[in-house]
Amino acid sequence: MYSAEVLDEICSLIREAEAEHGREIFLVSDEPYRKLLYDGLEYPHIFHHHQRSIVATSHSKDLALPGERIGYIAAHPDYEDKSELADGLVFCNRTLGFVNAPALMQHIVRALQSVSVDIDEYQRKRDFLYDSLTQMGYNMVKPQGAFYMFPASPTPDDVEFVAALQEHKVLVVPGRGFGLPGYFRISYCLDDHTLEGALPGFEAAIEAYR
Ligand SMILES: Cc1ncc(COP(=O)(O)O)c(C=O)c1O
């Protein structure tokens, strides 16, 4: 997660670029994982850092509704042309045509803004998998939120290592699909039985590269 200090630095770069080019530059934050933070971390809201900012979010993760395609876009409340911005966004959504949540659900999610999935459950899964994998020798940053891990592949060829894990019936995604070859991504929003069942496969796969 970006700290308030890093956000400040990003925003001063944006303001310098705005002055240089003589036009507004928006900070757009795509944050469906905003409520999925661990260890009591506080999220530094971008609205405190830049007036020309937009938050886009989805309830795929915080309400565990993947595929429902429902969320919202919020513009900074002090942005002067916010109604023009909102009109533009509504128009874009209409012309896209395929991302239109049912009207009734759009009313219902308003009442669900203070609700989220049980974050402690995800944190418990993170701790279990992080401790187990690091003990086996996998190297990774401990996730501060969401439900993914991004370990270094024990061989530079992440696609080769993903295939090796597949041989042990463990499914993960090569890091090069996310612009970072040499790593792979694990998603751990799974039941405990599946996570426990994957450990022998993780162990056998790394063992072959020692
Ligand atoms: C960072 C990020 N933004 C947006 C989305 C898309 O959410 P939705 O399922 O509502 O299309 C995802 C889903 O994986 C995501 O990880």
Asked whether residue 168 falls in the same domain as residue 125, the answer is: yes
What integer pLDDT is reported at residue 93 of this predicted model?
85
For the chain, 210 residues long, give each residue's pLDDT as a single digit of tens.
999 999 999 999 999 999 999 999 999 999 999 999 999 999 999 999 999 999 999 999 999 988 888 999 999 999 999 999 999 998 988 888 777 788 899 899 999 999 999 999 999 999 999 999 999 999 999 999 999 999 999 999 999 999 999 999 999 999 999 999 999 999 999 999 999 999 999 999 999 998
For the chain, how many structural domains are there in total?
Answer: 2
Cβ of 32 closer than 6 Å to ligand 1, yes or no, is yes
Q: Are residues 105 and 13 in the same domain?
A: yes
11 residue type, one letter: C
Q: Are residues 63 and 96 in the same domain?
A: yes
Tell me whether residue 139 is exposed, middle or buried, using C-beta atoms within 10 angstroms of its C-beta: 0 to 12, 13 to 18, 19 or more.
Answer: exposed
What confidence score (pLDDT) does residue 69 get? 86
Range of the domain at 31: 4-110
What pLDDT score does 97 carry? 77
What CATH number did the domain enclosing 91 receive? Answer: 3.40.640.10
Alpha carbon of 66 to ligand 1 centroid (Å): 8
| Best probe residue, ligand 1, of 1, 28, 29, 30 (max atoms within 8 Å of C-beta) | 30
**12 and 105 fall within a common domain:** yes
Identify whether residues 100 and 142 lie together within a single domain.
Answer: no
The CATH number assigned to the domain holding 147 equals 3.90.1150.10
Same domain flag for 140 and 83: no
Nearest CA to ligand 1 atom 13: 60
Are 128 and 163 part of one and the same domain?
yes
